[in-house]
Amino acid sequence: MARNRDAFIILIIVVAGIFLFGVASIIIVVSGASSSMDLAPIGNKIALVEINGVIEESNDVVRQIKKYQDDNSIKALVLRIESPGGGVAASQEIYEQLLRFRDKDKAIVVSMGSIAASGGYYIACAADTILANPGTVTGSIGVILSYLVYKNLMDKVGLELQVIKSGELKDVGNPARQLTPRERAMLQSVIDDTYDQFVGVVAERRSMDIDDVKKLADGAIFTGNQALNNGLVDKLGTLEDAISLAGEMANLGKHPRVVKERKFRRSLLDELLGFVGLNQSLMDHLRPWPSIEYRFSL
């Protein structure tokens, strides 16, 4: 009797251990920050990297580009952009990493989705060839700085913010008061310099005269058709067209094998809202600090 009881206890322990191991494995796969896998056939191939939504940071995209840059079996890269742009530094970091990828004598083809504007277009300029759909929204070459000012609200409720600072410009963008003329001039100079960087990249990479770029760089958006006529993109085509072109450029034919990371983790908030844009839009309007961006925004 005792022997049967001991065997039963051991069985329960083994089953429990297997169950816990399975649960732990699922948690690691679903929630791991770097949980991804490559859908990678053997042999030479091209890589597909996606940029979706507002560009807040560059780490994940830069990591993928570097990985494929160092992989000798990857002969070209297709970058799918579905973004209105975003942070200046993040856009520039992705752009610079793409240039390093090209330094390895590997071709880059950009495929624009429904929108590839401002910082999204800045990044696209690193490509050898840019494809857009006829109805793609692109362009929006320019810089924007925005933040909330709640001075009038504070006056109504009788609140006042006291600030002790080391210099006149130290709290520029303080939402509790209006800008001074000197602060506005300083911020405008920062905007102008960042704008010149954008225009310079477009002129260099698109082989355009800088004055011609400036005629287009007033923040205006263009359809894919208009962008083609203005020299901002090279061809009209779909993602499949971009993959075929990259395959031909890499001497792999029109139907190359493609590697792409499969992401397992999606934020719970994204699942509840059904899309990323609502949460991001809300945060943008509530953000109390100034933010300089290469971004198209309605």
Query: What backbone torsions phi and psi does residue 192 show, to the nearest 5 degrees?
Result: -65, -40
CB of 111 within 8 A of CB of 138? no
CB of 120 within 8 A of CB of 85? yes
For β-strands 137-139 and 221-222, DSSP reports them as antiparallel
**Closest by alpha carbon to 113, among 86, 132, 91, 141?**
132
CB of 219 within 8 A of CB of 140? yes
Buried-exposed string 89-101: b where 16+ CB fall within 10 A, e elsewhere: bbbbbbbebbeeb
CB of 140 within 8 A of CB of 234? no
Determine which one of 104, 165, 170, 215 is catalytic. 170
CB of 263 within 8 A of CB of 270? no
Q: Quick check: is 235 catalytic?
A: no
The identity of residue 102, as a single letter, is R
Determine which one of 83, 91, 111, 118 is catalytic. 118
Q: Quick check: is 166 catalytic?
A: no
Q: In angstroms, how far is the first alpha carbon of the chain from the final one? A: 77
Active-site residue numbers? 118, 170
